[in-house]
Amino acid sequence: MNSEYSADIVIIGGGIAGALMAYELVKANADVLVIEAGDRIDRSKAIAHYMNTPDRNNDTPYDPMSKSAPYPQMMTPDDYYIQTGPDKFQSTYIKALGGTTWHWLGTSLRFVPNDFKMKTAYGVGIDWPLSYDDLEPWYYAAERELPVSGDDTAELGVKRKNPYPSAKIPMTYLDKVVEKAFEDLSLPDAPDIKLKVANTPQGRLSVPDSDAGRLACCGSNNCIPMCPVGAKYDATFTIAKAEKLGARVITNHTATFIQTDEDGNVTGIKLKTAEGEKTVTGKIFILAAHAIETPKLMLMSKSEQYPKGIGNSSDQVGRNLMDHNCVLSYGLTKEPVYPYQAPLSTSGVEIVKDGPFRKQRGAFRIEIGNDGWSWPVGYPDVLATWLMKHSGGRTVNMNSPLNSKIDKAGIRKQLYGSKLRESIQKNVMHEIRFAFLCEQLPDPDNRIVPAFDSLDSFGLPRPKISYKLDNYVKAGIRVAVDTQKKMLDALGCTEQHHSSPWGAGHIVGTTRMGDDPKTSVVDKNLKCHDHKNLFILGSSVFPTVAASNPTLTIAALTLRAVESVQKMLQSMN
């Protein structure tokens, strides 16, 4: 076979899963090649571009998007996705070395034990082929690598065997106001479960790491779209360590087709570049290209031998797409809470993620925001635009239907100069925001397939997504809104608002793991059932979405799979 690139182990995707796998393997002297569709990002240039763009948004640091590596942008996801409904899938990702860890929040929660056995515990969903106890040591290994800063005394619904590797990021004044206000609150449908505020474990440094050249968190409130000082973990830190030990990394190469021999072994992967097509060969292949692009590549790789695509004898590739459907609540507190002076979130309510209620409705975790109204409404500059037209009375979400009723309250005189500044300051000091991350159940009809008849800017099929919110998640959302009302009332909030569900950016499912090859794509060691030298990493292997942010579980599963890859390589040498 004519091959431009070759390695013992080929990894497609340079995000957190691909980076961790590459680093662990190269530490053991393996020959590793990482292929990334996107480019390298220069943090200082990206931050400067963001800060100097007046109409900036969360996509701005990564602009302009390369035509050879298109992806769904936060503001315009349907420029890339093809949505066939009935509900919109809103979550996005980026193509770049380091992956979506560039703009993740840093929340580093473990799943709770019952998340791994939903069918057994509650009669819904599906069980994972491993347990919390199986993953516990790998959770700790992941926490050491990032590292995770956390509070060993926080009530998070799990038992730990080791302390956090880094001291906690302190709770903010806002967190403490919320903690006190919530002392007597509980879930509306589970009065025995209290809304106890806990410090959130985070993948950001609480103290500097001089060896890695990383600073401690400075509270810039820019975690999304990009940490300006590198305190928050992103996968480029791990990639750099892997490259230093000899791993090779190639950017701006998009995988387009997985090749196999007559026995079903993967022999190579075709790559498309701006200059033309190439091929990479190897002994072991690892897909770590996120829960949209991984199944898309597998389904694009149709042949006479595999008419349904690679790894798809179960017909589960691309199916069971899930997300955390995020419902926001926000208002103006009675007393000032002073947001915008810390990471976007430092605390949450985690103890509400599990209970018998999961038999009837989805669980949720509650994130406490330090970012004012920037998520549901916009940054203070957006607020300023609104206040220049309206003053006094109520301040509302500019995108809300409530805005159409402003005329009934009377149009106020316009604000300028010092009065405008005073009005902004008063509003901002009292702004508070909560996010409820609601779980949904796996549904095979929620799926992604390649749109062979609709190509992206690089001439490859766009992702075609069919997505629907089930009654289980809708029941969870209803309880979330009821809980939000109790919370805002406890804080004496005026201007109370509750959003429709947003995508949380937590794309899960599409190549689920399981013991039965007839109903799953990979086994518990993340090896593909259909191809013995193919592994799949990332949140696509999750059988269920749970209520916790997925990144730490991605990392733990990846680290657990390293031994299986190493054993296979040894057997081939």
Judged against a pLDDT cut of 70, whether residue 379 lies above it is answered with yes
Comparing 242-256, 367-381, 392-406, the range with the smallest average pLDDT is 392-406
**H or E segment and range at residue 369:** strand 364-369
Q: In whole angstroms, what is the distance from residue 169 CA to residue 142 CA?
A: 18
**H or E segment and range at residue 427:** helix 417-430
Span 118-157, pLDDT tens digits = 999 999 999 999 999 999 999 999 999 999 999 999 999 9
Q: Tokens 């662990």 map to which residue?
A: 24
Q: Report helix angle 16-27 to 236-244, nearest 10.
A: 20
Of 508, 451, 460, give the one whose Cα is nearest residue 91: 508
Task: Note the pLDDT of residue 550.
Answer: 98
b/e map 100-122, b = 16+ CB within 10 Å: bbbbbbbbbbbbbbbbbbbeebb
Query: Looking at residues 258-285, what average pLDDT do you find?
Result: 97
| Annotated catalytic residue, options 498, 506, 529, 531 | 506
User: How far from 431 is each of 35, 402, 481, CA to CA, in Å?
Assistant: 44, 18, 18
Span 325-359, pLDDT tens digits = 999 999 999 999 999 999 999 999 999 999 999 99
Which pLDDT band, with edges at 50, 70 and 90, does 422 fall under? confident
Torsion of CA 28, 32, 35, 41, to 10 degrees: 50
506 an active-site residue?
Answer: yes
Judged against a pLDDT cut of 70, whether residue 400 lies above it is answered with no
Comparing 77-81, 145-149, 381-385, 493-497, the range with the smallest average pLDDT is 381-385
Judged against a pLDDT cut of 80, whether residue 565 lies above it is answered with yes
Task: Note the pLDDT of residue 104.
Answer: 96
